Amino acid sequence: MRDKFYITTPIYYVNDNPHIGHAYTTLSCDVMARFKRLDGYDVLFLTGTDEHGQKVERAAREAGTDPATFCDEVSENFRILAREWNFSNDQFIRTTEQRHIRSVQALWRRLEEAGEIYLGTYEGWYAIRDEAFYTEDELGVDDAGRKVAPSGAPVEWVKEPSYFFRLSAWQDRLLKLYEDRPDFIMPEVRRNEVVSFVGGGLNDLSISRTGFTWGIPVPGDSRHVMYVWIDALTNYITAVGYPDESSELFTSWWPALHMVGKDILRFHAVYWPAFLMAAGIEVPGRIFAHGWWTSEGKKISKSLGNVIVPSEIVARYGLDQVRYTLMREVNFGNDGDFSHRGAMLRCNHDLANDYGNLAQRVLKMIARNCRGRVPPPGTLRDQDRELLAQGRGLVDRLRRHIEIQAFQLMLRDIWEVIGAANRYIDAEAPWKLRDVDPQRMETVLYCTAELIRILALLTQPVMPESSARLLDQLAVPDDRRDFASIDEEHSLRPGCPLPEPEGVFPRLAESTS
């Protein structure tokens, strides 16, 4: 049986249209999911929408519609994003689905039976935009002198009856979890932040609200709806069949790797494992928190009007170009800045010049000088064997990077080999060999074409479509495109006819600003 790999994106609030932040989190999951599938794993890749809560209820009201209709409409935009960005999610979950409501209520009952929930009164600050409670000392003040959440979101004073989860009792067990599993939270800076937050002591967590109705009713007390985060986090187990924990579905997939933005780490790394431990369910495999994007050096905000719309950057640079740029520009986990200049450089330098041109040069020479067929390898010299060994050795290096979500390093290593291939071809100058040593020319073209096959197999997770076009041009059959096919046994067959070569990464005009 194949190994299983379960990966999740956060589920997105439907109060907003998709922006680069959403696209980025899901893209990182897509790259992981594709990599693992190509590497022989059975993958479950989950994304979806978070549809309850006061924020969504308000957004629906502002849009002049009821929450259910509003959710149907906006949730669809996230499905469209997934299609436009070629995301390979296996499931799209919505928190308004029956299976999810059943799952959250079952979790609630379990926590209640375990004595982890009690009824009290919540009095304190709440930020609807973050759907989060804050203590007085966490708040700051905005320019107008109003109290605001650390995220800058406005807060309001809330006093209402509320059910509480005994989070304070979980401090030591959480700290032990972080200590026993140093890579449970990544990257390390974020882990340290969480450890110090939990080390500072935890308050019990208010997990129900009464001021509005757009939520999952608390079992046995329909005056309360559940706090949106207990509802939302549970999606990760709903998707694998919770509350049916003994099912094959649940036992074979859970636990998952959760990819999240740094702003929502606390919910995932503190509340979620505490809920799960309290309910006697295994905690997640890992929580990786990525950084935030700015745009041309500025914080992205609607009021500044600099929101990066996913479909717009794709139309401008091309989908695979954008996917590459986002994965290459920053060390995953750090913040990054999206700039036009940076994107152009990636598209024209890395993709058009380094990668695209390498493929074009070789494929064209094969078309012209080898009657459009894969040439025979002939006798390999040391430098030929070295180049191919570098290519074949890549997959192991990439596996190590992907295990720790180091997408940038993965691409850097691939580009190192692309650089080596360009140097090889310049040094061997097959165009000069045509008349003086045609056999050597064939060997050089064979080796570079074979290397391009390996590179195109390995760039599939980040650039699925362009890599597929390169593989088409090398006549690589569909069932020979997984990583097991990198080995020598599956190398290009001499004599195999190749289609007419065509450029895959066009140069973009520098003048577009």
Q: Does 464 bind ligand MSP (CB under 6 A)?
A: no
- Told to check if 149 binds ligand MSP by CB under 6 A, we report no
Q: Which residue has the tokens 């500025």?
A: 298
- Nearest-10 crossing angle of helices 319-329, 20-38: 90
Of 114-122, 260-268, 341-349, 479-487, the window that binds ligand MSP (rule: CB under 6 A) is 260-268
Which of 13, 170, 184, 254 contacts ligand MSP by CB under 6 A? 13
Q: Is 21 in the site for ligand MSP (CB under 6 A)?
A: yes
Q: Tell me: does residue 72 bind ligand MSP (CB under 6 A).
A: no
- Can you tell me the distance from the alpha carbon of 190 to that of 266, in angstroms, rounded to the nearest whole number? 10
Q: For residue 389, what are the contacts with CB-CB under 8 A and spacing of at least 6?
A: none
Our CA angle for 450, 456, 458, nearest 5°, is 110
What whole-number distance in Å separates Cα of residue 276 and Cα of residue 384? Answer: 54
Does 148 sit near ligand MSP (CB under 6 A)?
A: no
Q: Which is nearer to ligand MSP, 257 or 264 (CB)?
A: 264
Site for ligand MSP in 25-44 (CB under 6 A): 25
CB 382, min distance to ligand MSP, A: 46
Q: Do residues 156 and 147 make contact, with C-beta atoms less than 8 angstroms apart?
A: no
Q: How far from the centroid of its chain's Cα atoms is residue 151's Cα?
A: 23
Taking CB under 6 A as the rule, which mask of x and - marks residues 331-370 in contact with ligand MSP? ----------------------------------------
Q: Considering the rule CB under 6 A, would residue 317 count as an interface residue with ligand MSP?
A: no
SS3 (DSSP) at 191: helix
Q: How far is the CB of 261 from ligand MSP (least distance, A)?
A: 1
The minimum distance between CB 17 and ligand MSP, in angstroms, equals 10
- Dist CA 223 CA 437 (whole Å): 86
Q: Which of 7, 11, 29, 257 binds ligand MSP (CB under 6 A)?
A: 11
Report which secondary-structure segment, H or E, holds 495.
none
Q: Which is nearer to ligand MSP, 184 or 483 (CB)?
A: 184
Question: Binding residues for ligand MSP, how many (CB under 6 A)?
Answer: 18
Binding mask 219-258 for ligand MSP (x = CB under 6 A): -------------xx-------------------------
| CA 25/CA 1 separation, integer angstroms | 30
Which member of 48, 67, 243, 261 binds ligand MSP (CB under 6 A)?
A: 261
Residue 270 tokens, joined: 């503190």
Contact map string, positions 264 to 293, toward ligand MSP, x by CB under 6 A: x---------------------------xx
Query: In terms of DSSP bridges, do strands 221-226 and 208-209 run parallel, antiparallel, or are they unpaired?
Result: antiparallel
The residue at minimum Cβ distance from ligand MSP is 261
Q: Shortest approach of ligand MSP to residue 52 CB, angstroms?
A: 10
Please identify, using beta-carbon distances, which residue of 71 and 264 lies nearer to ligand MSP. Answer: 264
Tokens matching residue 469: 């076009």
> How many beta carbons lie within 10 A of that of residue 148, not counting itself?
19
Q: Which two tokens stand for residue 442?
A: 């064939």
Asked if 263 interacts with ligand MSP (CB under 6 A), we say yes
| 378: its two tokens | 């002939």
Element (H, E) at 290: strand 286-290
* Side-chain half-sphere CA neighbours of 36 within 13 A: 24
Our CB check for ligand MSP shows the closer of 41 and 292 to be 292
Residue 119: count of CB within 10 angstroms of its CB: 12
Site for ligand MSP, rule CB under 6 A: 10-13, 21-22, 24-25, 50, 232-233, 260-261, 263-264, 292-293, 300
